[in-house]
Amino acid sequence: MPELPEVEVVRAGLAPAVTGATVLGVEVFEQRSLRRHDPVTGLFEALVTGRVLAGPVRRGKFLWIPLLNDDRSPTGQAIVAHLGMSGQILLREPGAVENGLLRIRLHIETAASPASPARELWVNFVDQRIFGSMAVDTLIPTSDGGPGGLGTAEPLIPTQVAHIARDALDPAFDDARFAHALGRKNTGIKRALLDQTLISGIGNIYADEALWAAKMHYAQPANTLSRARVRTLLAEIRLVLEKALAEGGTSFDAQYVNVNGASGYFSHSLNVYGQQGKPCPRCGTLIVREQFMNRSSHLCPHCQRLRLPRAPSV
């Protein structure tokens, strides 16, 4: 599943093309890709066609594009996109043949500028497994009064995303609040990192990589971590995410691409995820894979030892 770096690569790639663009028309080829759209608010096509697009915004793994009126005043709504397991948002020239399973297409006219005249583009939502979706949703105030996410200064967020916590790269992320929340979590630290209501954007890949970097076992109880250990973990999470962003995200196959269809290459920099049977880059012990929440965890059994608190003596 695309995680924060992969979705951020898409957001950054879309921004120059869609910001200020006008939606000329919409084609929906698969209604199941609109299953999170509430038809009571109106037809997806009707709500989007003719609107001007603001700059795309991301929080965690969610992406949204606020909708504006012709005079650039806000409509209070946004197109919300979630890539699911295999979703892609691709910019195409009109008439281009789409090799993937096209589900939704937006016909847009880009905003004209002194350096570039307006031109028509297609924004294609491609999704093999149809776990991803698009919807028009209402924007509401953020609970903490901060910007909704990366890409906006407005303290607004779609209702479908309001329960999602900020991610570690968000300037408004509260380290102390996160540490306090971990102290109340009687669960393994990896399970806590995958809880999108606690910290967003982290999935299996980057959880394994950050925990390896911080020398933590995935089952280490979250409430046993000292504040210093939490600071170390957050620092490693940020380093892993920033490095993945610099390398265009992680691509294991053709499903993980940017808006131009190019793959990221962070997969070549993975230390533990998918590296079972190979030596740990730090100590040489063989990396192992263990079952975890109907998926897998990858770790170095030497560097990432489970450290349980000692039972009180009697």
- The pair of three-digit structure tokens given for residue 117, joined into one six-digit string: 């005249």
Give backbone dihedrals phi and psi of 196, rounded to 5 degrees, phi first: -70, -10
Identify which of 166, 147, 169, 168 has the alpha carbon closest to the alpha carbon of residue 157. Answer: 147
Q: Report the DSSP beta bridge partners of residue 26.
A: 106
Known catalytic residue at 16? no
Q: Name the active-site residue from 11, 58, 61, 215.
A: 61
Considering the candidates 3, 6, 209, 236, report the single residue annotated as catalytic: 3
Helix (H, G, I), strand (E, B) or coil at 79: strand
191 catalytic? Reply is no
Taking the C-alpha atoms of residue 305 and residue 30, their distance in angstroms, rounded to an integer, is 47
**Cα–Cα nearest to 32, from 99, 137, 103:** 103
CA distance 252 to 6: 12
CA pair distance 181, 187, nearest whole angstrom: 12
| Selected catalytic residue, list 39, 93, 184, 295 | 295
263 and 252 Cβ atoms separated by less than 8 Å: no
Is 35 catalytic? The answer is no
Instruction: Identify whether 61 is a catalytic site residue.
Output: yes
Where is 117: in which H helix or E strand? none
Please list the active-site residues: 2-3, 61, 295
